[in-house]
Amino acid sequence: MQMGMHTDTERCVRAVRSKDARFDGWFFTAVLTTGIYCRPSCPVVPPKPENMVFHPSAAACQQAGFRACKRCRPDTSPGSPEWNQRADLVARAMRLIADGVVDREGVPGLAARLGYSTRQVERQLFAELGAGPLALARAQFGE
């Protein structure tokens, strides 16, 4: 992917509609009707294409007068403590799922081991991987 991806509107719209986390950090979506900007992978319902404008960075969105989405936290970029904490939670969850924790203790058991609420764990896994802990456990063990 080349620099300036935010100028390829069609591609950006497709990434936002499919909530594709691979594009996080490549561009940010600012929503004209709400004044909020998001990551491409934001879990909220995508806005209409005509209400989306794309920027190369969170700073560019802020300079244009948009504020960060509270759900996807686009202001926490890769490498920041918030981002590392989120990535670490997902990595730890995946290791525990691979060890069969969900099969033995259910999703609440997984959440308890991670030190987060069930809802937080489900939300983070959905945001990063597009699936919840139960679906990930089932996919892993081919059920």
User: Which of 38, 42, 61, 72 does the annotation list as catalytic?
Assistant: 38
Which ranges in the chain belong to alpha helices (H)?
A: 9-17, 58-63, 81-98, 101-114, 118-129, 133-140
Q: What burial class does residue 87 get, using C-beta atoms within 10 Å of its C-beta: 0-12 exposed, 13-18 middle, 19+ buried?
A: middle
Token output for 107: 């999703």
Among this protein's residues, is 72 annotated catalytic? no
Taking a C-beta distance cutoff of 8 angstroms, is the pair 126, 132 a contact? yes
What DSSP designation does 51 have?
A: G
Active site residues: 38
